[in-house]
Structure 1
Amino acid sequence: MSRAATLFIFACMTIVAISCGLVMMVQFQRPFGEAASVALALMCTMMVIHLVMTRTQEKSEFSESVERLEDRLSEIDDDVVNLEGRMSGMETNLPQRTRQEIDPVFAEVEVIGSLVKQMAEAMADMETRLDDQSAKTIALTHSVNAQQALPSSQGQIPASNQAAVGYTPDHNPSDAMGTMRHPHASHNVTSPEPEVTTQPQAAPRRPDPRMPRPDAALAAEISAALDAGRVDLYLQPIVTLPQRRVRYYEALSRLRRLDGETLEPVEFIAEAERTGQMPAIDNLLLFRSLQILKRLSSRNREAGLFCNLSPSTLVDEDFFPGFLEFVRANETYADLLIFEFTQAHVAAMGLLEHESLAALADLGFRFSVDQITDLRMDFRGLADKGFRFAKLNAARLLQQDETLAHGNIHPADFGSLLQRYGIELISDHVEAETQVTELLDLDIRCAQGYLFSPPRPVRADILQGAPNPRPIKRAQAG
């Protein structure tokens, strides 16, 4: 439409210019050349005027469009600012409000869980007692029935049977006389001799398979190693993938016998737990771990350290207050020192253990759970309690080991699930290069295992000045 209007205006300009030239030639008798020049000049003037007017109109329309666009952009900016304010308000208030609403529920659930656990233990004990009592009652009933089934001609129950069943007969003089009048009445009657029963004894309780069998020799060796300071510290690196740069270390304790042979944790931890010697071992491990952290800090190496703790340490009345005071004095290393517990120990923790964990979390310390065998655990609840790391065996993570209970969670998605809760997944027991490739496919960024380095002992000169942990009160092996 605009192009047609332009052509029409140009045609009109041409007609006006030609008409002006004809008027000058006919009316004013001007030569053709002069008339043509005037007509051409008039046409050029009209074209310039039209162009200027067109440009002016287009400029005004463009300015109006720009102004409208600027107004719209300013409105959008205001809306974005309001939306950012509302989002920041939600990010600030929603977690706090959610925590305020959920914390009481968690506290009640923990209390209910402890009560249910106590009730289950009481019911198990009651069932054991009822079984024992039922066995006694059945034995007594069989004994009494056997005695009542004897014919009256047999006379009184033997004294041994009376003592066995707790039966005291009433001495009837007439019965005694009847027996004397018929001294040979039983000669023609063959009757079985009464069975002699003994007092039933309660069946001994079977030992709990989860509790270690007492080993007095091993308990004495552990105590002697602690007294003599024959406790070595080993470090195993945790590296980043794929760079394989050391990011953390795990501190491990080893005990040495008199002959120099090394006791692995799997050999002595159960007995140390049973005899109450784990707080002493944890005390020494904590002190030496802080020595390692201070040495790494002096070399400007920001490497964290995983320190394994026993739940018995958290509830030891003689040890934990001093432990808490010691870590509070070294609170500057809270970001580098991570306390580690096994999944079985975490699942068995009660209110006292959770209170001790809360005290450590308030100081800024973080926790780790390892030896994971069940992916159905409440890892969101662990994240709320300060757990920021989780270790899973590489064979289980890659489904090379079928002992992992995962429910509806696929092991390949476990890392992403933990990441949503703020927990970093570390794959341990990595022993082959093929496992590293598969772990990278699962977006695992930290790994630990003999492929990178076995646990290595720390030089004795670095650990000079470590205290002897004998002040910790330990229960005697029973």
Structure 2
Amino acid sequence: MIRISTIFIAICMVLVAASLGLVLHAVAGFNGTESAIVALTALTFLILYNAVSMRLRDRSDVGGQIADLSRGTADLARQVAEFGRRLAAIEGRVVSANSTNSDRIQAVLGEINELGGLVKQLAISVASHEDLIASAAAAPPAPSVRPHPEPAEQPALAERASLHARPVPVAPVKPPASVVAVEAAPSRSQPQLLAAVKNAVEENRLDIYLQPMVTLPQRKVRFYEAVTRLRDDKEQILAADDFISVAEAGGLIGKIDHMVMLRCVQVLRRLMVRNKDVGVFCNVSAATLGNPANFSQCLDFLEANRALAPSFILEFRQATFRQLGPIEIENLAALSQRGYRFSIDHVTDLRIEPRDLADRGVRFIKVPAALLLDPKQASTADIHPSDLSDLLGRFGIDLIAEKIEGERAVVDLLDYDVRFGQGFLFAPPRPLRPEGASATGGAPATKESGASNGSSNTVPMPGPAAEPPMRATGNAALARRAAGPG
């Protein structure tokens, strides 16, 4: 775009050339043609002069700009060099820090691996010692061999033998009540067993035993399983495996399940007063799930206690889930919509579909420890037992190893990433303490104010006997056992 100064200069040059022509025509007496030629010559000279001067001026300006650009480039180069030096110093520090951290990590990993090897050796040594102690306790004591007595000792030995040959009166020893309670019930016919179960249900002789489920390896109580027992008119205990089939055949299982749910909810309410994170597993029969009348009664009760749904887990057998019909599926969906979660026990094989179970509301699966640690399962199951916990965890299902009876099983299950355990190693099923007495039959306990309605069927708070003693972690326990009593 032409600048205004350039236009002004051009106008001035034209005016100067025209003025020169007019002056020559008027003063010097040149004619019009000569005056015009002189004016054009002057104009051309002015144009050339202006162009040359502008070119020279532009050259000087470009030289100054080039000098400025050179100085700026030099400054930029110096700044880049400074930044490069600082970046090199920072990279050196980072590399040094990384090498130091890697050395520390390698040292810690080496110590952890060494400790792991020592713990495994300690566990193997403890297990071998336990096996030796068990075998020594099971073996009968060897009879002491004594050389033939001398003739001088024979009369004394004969007198001592005559004394030992006399009958010595022995006072009868009464077995403890706990031993009597767990003695096997005498064999009964089907009608007799059904009558005993019916009388026990009608007279409310139903007892709840609690067995804790602990976290591994901390062994902190996280859940309780409610185990049902019935007492006949002779105070003999009937286990669930003894009366479940008879109760289902006689149509009593629905009433039993409703009574068990009532007791479990009462126990859960009292447990949650002390610990909000505790949960209770309640077993439910397949017959109750498929019977519309019995299930409707249980559903109404569970609906009324919907606030306890996150901590109240309903437990079913694996065979029940494999034989679900349309009615059972609909009833499970109704329970799941109300927030209740399910557990599967009595697992006989590891052919498990976690996606289908998770879609139906299953959040726990209880597998016997012997089944998880059985080498044959690795070839017959769809997944290796060591990967089962991780697979179930992807679908929000926790694996619980049950029937744990030895420390060696705990060590092996920790390698399988099992988070929960249950078994006689931690605590056997124990009955709820009687109302007004401690769990061990000690001093009477104070009744709660809410139990002052005169009802004799209130479920008391399970005392300390219902919880296993505080245990150390698996490795610490093994080390302490190996070290012996202090």
Which residue type is aligned with residue 308 of structure 1? N
Unpaired segments ≥5 residues, structure 2: 1-67, 85-187, 436-446, 460-486
> Does the aligned pair in 1 maintain the 2:354–2:392 contact within 8 Å?
yes
Establish whether residue 56 from structure 1 lines up as the match of residue 75 from structure 2: yes
Establish whether residue 456 from structure 1 lines up as the match of residue 430 from structure 2: yes
Partner of 1:436: 410
> Does the aligned pair in 2 maintain the 1:296–1:302 contact within 8 Å?
no
Partner of 1:314: 289
Partner SS state of residue 293, structure 2: coil
Distance 2:354 2:412 in 1: 24
Partner SS state of residue 335, structure 1: helix
Shift of 1:414: 1.7
Instruction: Give the aligned length.
Output: 272
Establish whether residue 424 from structure 1 lines up as the match of residue 398 from structure 2: yes
1:215-273 alpha-carbon deviations (Å, 9 max, x no partner) = 11111100000011110000000000111000000011100111111111111111111
Shift of 1:318: 2.4
Shift of 1:50: 12
Shift of 1:415: 1.6
Q: Taking structure 1 as reference, are residues 451 and 51 closer, same or farther at Cα in structure 2, changes over 3 Å only?
A: farther
Partner of 1:328: 303
TM-score normalised by length of structure 2: 0.52
Shift of 1:372: 1.0
Partner of 1:360: 335
Shift of 1:371: 1.2
> Does the aligned pair in 2 maintain the 1:374–1:404 contact within 8 Å?
no
Distance 2:427 2:276 in 1: 19
> Does the aligned pair in 2 maintain the 1:376–1:405 contact within 8 Å?
no
Partner SS state of residue 259, structure 2: helix
Partner SS state of residue 334, structure 1: helix
Which runs of structure 2 are paired with 1:46-445 in the superposition (5 Å)?
56-58=75-77, 215-399=190-374, 406-445=380-419
Distance 2:72 2:288 in 1: 92
1:91-110 alpha-carbon deviations (Å, 9 max, x no partner) = xxxxxxxxxxxxxxxxxxxx
Q: Taking structure 1 as reference, are residues 300 and 374 closer, same or farther at Cα in structure 2, changes over 3 Å only?
A: closer
Q: Taking structure 1 as reference, are residues 50 and 363 closer, same or farther at Cα in structure 2, changes over 3 Å only?
A: closer
Q: Taking structure 1 as reference, are residues 51 and 296 closer, same or farther at Cα in structure 2, changes over 3 Å only?
A: farther
Distance 2:251 2:74 in 1: 96
Distance 1:64 1:270 in 2: 84
Q: Taking structure 1 as reference, are residues 63 and 274 closer, same or farther at Cα in structure 2, changes over 3 Å only?
A: farther
1:41-81 alpha-carbon deviations (Å, 9 max, x no partner) = xxxxxxxx99975662237769999xxxxxxxxxxxxxxxx
Unpaired segments ≥5 residues, structure 1: 1-48, 66-212, 469-478
Partner of 1:31: none
Which residue type is aligned with residue 459 of structure 1? R
Which residue type is aligned with residue 455 of structure 1? P
Q: Taking structure 1 as reference, are residues 352 and 405 closer, same or farther at Cα in structure 2, changes over 3 Å only?
A: farther
Q: Taking structure 1 as reference, are residues 439 and 50 closer, same or farther at Cα in structure 2, changes over 3 Å only?
A: same
Q: Taking structure 1 as reference, are residues 266 and 54 closer, same or farther at Cα in structure 2, changes over 3 Å only?
A: same
Distance 1:407 1:243 in 2: 29
Q: 296-305 vs 385-394, which deviates more? A: 296-305
> Does the aligned pair in 2 maintain the 1:233–1:253 contact within 8 Å?
yes
Shift of 1:405: 8.7
Distance 1:410 1:254 in 2: 36
> Does the aligned pair in 2 maintain the 1:396–1:404 contact within 8 Å?
no
1:398-431 alpha-carbon deviations (Å, 9 max, x no partner) = 016x589943322222222212222110000000
> Does the aligned pair in 1 maintain the 2:216–2:421 contact within 8 Å?
yes
> Does the aligned pair in 1 maintain the 2:385–2:416 contact within 8 Å?
no
Establish whether residue 446 from structure 1 lines up as the match of residue 465 from structure 2: no
> Does the aligned pair in 2 maintain the 1:366–1:387 contact within 8 Å?
yes
Task: Tell me the percent identity.
Answer: 42
> Does the aligned pair in 1 maintain the 2:213–2:223 contact within 8 Å?
yes
Q: Taking structure 1 as reference, are residues 350 and 404 closer, same or farther at Cα in structure 2, changes over 3 Å only?
A: farther
> Does the aligned pair in 1 maintain the 2:377–2:384 contact within 8 Å?
no
Q: Taking structure 1 as reference, are residues 371 and 273 closer, same or farther at Cα in structure 2, changes over 3 Å only?
A: same
> Does the aligned pair in 2 maintain the 1:287–1:466 contact within 8 Å?
no
> Does the aligned pair in 1 maintain the 2:200–2:231 contact within 8 Å?
yes
Partner SS state of residue 409, structure 2: helix
Which residue type is aligned with residue 347 of structure 2? I
Partner SS state of residue 218, structure 2: coil
